[in-house]
Chain A
Amino acid sequence: MKDKIAENILLLIAFSAILSLLLITFFIFQQGIPLIFKTGLHNFFSISWSPTKGGFGILSMIIGSLMVTAGALVVGIPFGLACAVFLAEFSSPTIQKTLKPIIELLAGIPSVVYGFIGIVILVPFIRETFGGPGFSVLAASIILGIMILPTIVSISYDSLLAVPNTYREGSYALGATKWQTVRMLLLHAARSGIVAGIILGMGRAIGETMAVIMIAGNALKIPGSLLDSVRTLTSTIALELGYAAGDHRAALFACGSILFIIIIILNIVAIRVTGRK
């Protein structure tokens, strides 16, 4: 009797995560989606964002989000993969045991700290070296690239370690060098984990808010170069939610809905990719 009650209570509790996810989905969509249809898809995906005058076009922000995310991947993937391969295949157990936790510890550094480093070091550096305002696509890409490193390193490293040792031994027995083994065999064998790590890093980059606000400049236009200021979906939400009301607030939830849809798709892809291992 007591066991039965406990089981039912635990079952209820166990649904808390999925229930939260449903509540989040419901409220974000309920607040945002009606405005998309009221504005019309054509106007919503245009570039005129003047929310106080009824212009709710989010195209420049979508492009902004995609640009900084792509930039982050360009920075994050090579360094992240290099780190993971070096740690998993080319370093002694002592180095592995020291560096892996350190990199994971660094994953905990809050995003505002990264943004701040961007403001005090990277932005002035870009301004003085390349010209322009410094607050730019480039600054945001580099900082986001650094921020997603721990995610990519950690997941790629784990999936490299999960490749059975017999693969390596077989490859060495055929006379391959360590690098040939990595390049032709291990990276393929660990592919699903590496892809999942990259997708999760991508999700982190596209969803990042505070760091981006601090260093991207937030100008409302499609950037013409890497040195131009850029505004993302997330920064628009965070910059304007404090004072928005009525349709303007709904438009911010519409931005949130688009972001949420992108993230859920990325998550499902990542879960699928790892699940098929």
Chain B
Amino acid sequence: MTFRIGPRTSQIIAYILLLVMTSITVIVLFFIIVYIFNHGIGQLSLEFLTDRTREMGKEGGIFPSIIGTLLVTMFAIAVATPLGVGSAVYLVEYTRGGLIRRIISFGADCLAGVPSIIFGLFGFIFFVIKLNLGWSIISGGLTLAVMILPTVIRTAEEAIKAVPHTYREISYSLGGGKLDTIVKVVLPTSLPGILTGIILGIGRAVGETAAVIFTAGSALGIPTSLFSSTRTLAVHFYILAREGISMPKAYGTATVLIIIILAVNFIAYRLMHRFIARYY
């Protein structure tokens, strides 16, 4: 006689197993954040945030890295936004299926899967060496711009697609041209959705290490121009942790990094939900 588990029993076993595994997953992910915060919150002070970094990070604060992160990220967004939103507008408003659309979509999808170290290699050889921009905010920003471009394109595309067709028809019937309709009707309506993509891009740019360490470098001073090398928060944290320079400072930097990224992603999430609630 073979032993068989009845469907009801197996249902219960499966349920418990799935519940346990899901709980483990969620707990592990939470644990990571709580652990870092637990060790890092005590390090945070106005001084830590506004002081210069001294003795390679053993002493002082993280002010130069905050400025560096801000500048590199802003540069990346300034480049990626027009390219990403422009691409999305073209995809939705000017193509009806067809080869061009497939090529552009394929490019965005493939680019989204490229690992950051490849962007680092590319940025290093192209921006730093061939274009002779050196290790600089510009090189780092351009590299990150390429990296976040697919996120901006995809999110903007979805947002523009969600604008009801009647909006465009009303604009045309009032004598608006195609460009007028896009600029005055489609873009303003889809703005929250477009912003979501840009903010998600900011989150990725802030947390990135491999792509910026070889393009923006790791100089510790406060940058004086866009051609200065700089060290972003993520790179600073990586160097502190890997070279064992200062564990307390590493926890502090990680806490700042995580707070920024959670806040940025949370804002993106809220914006998207408001947008979805309105148009879907």
Provide the A1-40 mask, 1 if CB < 8 A to any CB of B, else 0. Answer: 0110011011101111111110110011001000000000
Residue B113 lies at the interface, judged by CB distance under 8 Å to chain A: yes
> Does A134 belong to the interface (CB within 8 Å)?
no
A20 contact from B28, B82, B146, Cβ within 8 A: B146
Q: Does A48 contact B (CB under 8 A)?
A: no
Q: Smallest Cβ distance from A205 to chain B, in angstroms?
A: 10
Could you say which of A13, A20, A119 contacts B86, with CB atoms under 8 Å apart?
A13
Binary flags per residue of A80-96, CB closer than 8 Å to B gives 1, else 0: 10110111001000000
A-B contact count (CB 8 A): 256
**Contact of A114 with B by CB under 8 A:** yes
- Which range holds the interface residue count of chain B? 35 or more
- Indicate if the CB atoms of B14 and A179 lie closer than 8 Å: yes
Complex: how many Å from CA A264 to CA B129?
Answer: 25
Once the chains bind, are B118 and A83 in contact (CB under 8 Å)?
A: no
Contact B115 A204 (CB under 8 A): yes
Residues of B within 8 A of A (CB): 7-8, 10-11, 14-15, 17-19, 21-22, 24-26, 28-29, 32-33, 35-36, 82-83, 86-87, 89-91, 94, 100, 103-104, 106-111, 113-122, 124-126, 130, 146, 149-150, 153, 177-179, 182, 203-204, 206-210, 213-214, 234, 237-238, 241-242, 247, 250, 254, 257-258, 261-262, 264-266, 269
9 shortest A-B CB distances, which residue pairs?
A207-B115, A18-B107, A110-B207, A13-B86, A82-B21, A14-B90, A17-B107, A10-B90, A179-B14
22 residue pairs from A and B, CB less than 8 Å apart: A6-B178, A7-B94, A11-B94, A13-B82, A14-B87, A16-B86, A18-B107, A23-B122, A27-B130, A80-B25, A105-B266, A108-B207, A110-B209, A111-B116, A149-B29, A177-B8, A207-B116, A209-B115, A209-B117, A238-B214, A241-B121, A252-B121
**With contacts A109-B207, A271-B106 known, what are 13 further pairs, Cβ within 8 A?**
A14-B86, A79-B24, A83-B22, A87-B22, A108-B204, A108-B264, A110-B234, A110-B257, A113-B258, A203-B113, A210-B209, A238-B213, A241-B121
